[in-house]
Chain A
Amino acid sequence: MASKVHQITVWARGVVQDKEGRDIANGLAAAAAKEGKFTQAFDNYVDLPDRINVPLRKYARISDEEIEERYEYENAQPEVVIVADATIVKGIDILRGMEKGGTLVVATDRKPDEILKFIPNRELLAQIVCVDAKTICGEQKIDFSGSEGGVDSLGIGQGISAPILGALARGTGLVKLENLDVVVKNKDALHQGHEQAVVQTLH
């Protein structure tokens, strides 16, 4: 019996947050791999075609042993759900498939309670982490580097993905901040996200 595979699902906005969403999944997997974990990170095949502002998913998997499922392109039971744009909580059942005791990371300037009121199945959550990624990063340009199979010339974590990854390291033990520090380009935003993240434990 293989050990537990931690499934992480990232929700982001189509096209405009395509790179940031992918950077969260890739950065998380790359940083966890530095601890000797087995990881997978992949874009979504289900939600395509992705259009501007469509809610879309990116996935990552982390395990202590080699991950057996290679041909499933969807996380059926996400343990951690990351929402790169907070308005997605109104449009999608983001916790679908989650078992009790999960974690939700939201990039928002709002308080955790203001996000929780839009989630009807919030009893599944053990904790919620909110980080104001847009304020930390300032004005963002839309970048298509690495999209649609293109070359990613910018590298992982130039925009809002950096503070979100910092907040994720603060809220969960999936990945260590010093490993993220090696992977993520915008280290300043990464550390600010780690410090400013609001972690609220539920129940």
Chain B
Amino acid sequence: MFNIPKEKAVPLGCITPAPVGEQPMMITGNWREFRPVLEAEKCDLCMNCVVFCPDACFALDDAGEMVVLNEKYCKGCNICINECAPGALTAAYELDFDDGVVRLDKPF
């Protein structure tokens, strides 16, 4: 069915390692108008934001005690705010923050 060279073929059901790095060719942080802001006291680590983020921007920090946002790739879809069970995430206007600047030469 497919003409795959023998040296590149893998067995059916083969597991390949997931990418662990960032994608430098598709930085989506400059799509964002409103960013999710986490209230640490309300967060119960339900991990909804980690699961639902389409760009995998939420991850546990090194200590495993708090979720942190990757502002370089968060495109401000705010799905995490909808899905946050304890309501710890709120939307905040991007110009209120000095950080989170992703200044690209071209849109993407």
Residues of A that sit less than 8 Å from B by CB: 13, 46-47, 51-57, 85-88, 90-93, 96, 108, 110, 114-115, 117-118, 120
For B105, what are the chain A residues with a Cβ–Cβ distance below 8 Å?
Answer: 92-93, 96
A50 to chain B, nearest CB (A): 9
**CB of B76 closer than 8 Å to a CB of A:** yes
Contacts of B94 in A (CB 8 A): 87, 90
Chain A to chain B contacts (Cβ below 8 Å), 29 pairs: A13-B33, A46-B106, A47-B107, A51-B31, A52-B31, A53-B32, A53-B33, A53-B75, A54-B107, A55-B30, A55-B31, A87-B32, A87-B94, A88-B30, A90-B30, A90-B95, A90-B101, A91-B32, A91-B103, A91-B104, A92-B103, A92-B104, A92-B106, A92-B107, A93-B103, A93-B105, A108-B95, A117-B98, A120-B103
Point out the residues of chain A lying under 8 angstroms from B108, CB to CB: 47, 54
**B102:A90 contact, CB within 8 angstroms:** yes
Query: Complex Cα distance A91/B72, Å?
Result: 10
**Interface class of chain B by DSSP:** loop
Contact A54 B100 (CB under 8 A): no
- Cα A83 to Cα B104 with chains together (Å): 15
Binding site for A on B (CB under 8 A): 29-33, 75-76, 93-95, 98, 100-108
Q: Which residue of A lies closest to B76 (CB)?
A: A53
The 3 closest A-B pairs by CB, nearest first: A91-B30, A53-B31, A87-B94
Give the shortest distance, in Å, between A94 (CB) and chain B (any CB).
Answer: 9
Besides A46-B106, A47-B108, 7 other CB < 8 A contacts?
A54-B108, A90-B100, A90-B103, A91-B29, A92-B107, A114-B95, A115-B95
User: A108: which B residues are within 8 A, CB to CB?
Assistant: 95
* Interface hub of A51, A92, A108, A115 (most chain B Cβ within 10 A): A92
Please state if B107 and A55 are interface contacts (CB–CB under 8 Å).
yes
A52, A55, A110, A120: the one within 8 Å of B95 (CB): A110
Contacts of B107 in A (CB 8 A): 46-47, 54-57, 92
Q: Check B103 against A86 for contact (C-beta < 8 Å).
A: no
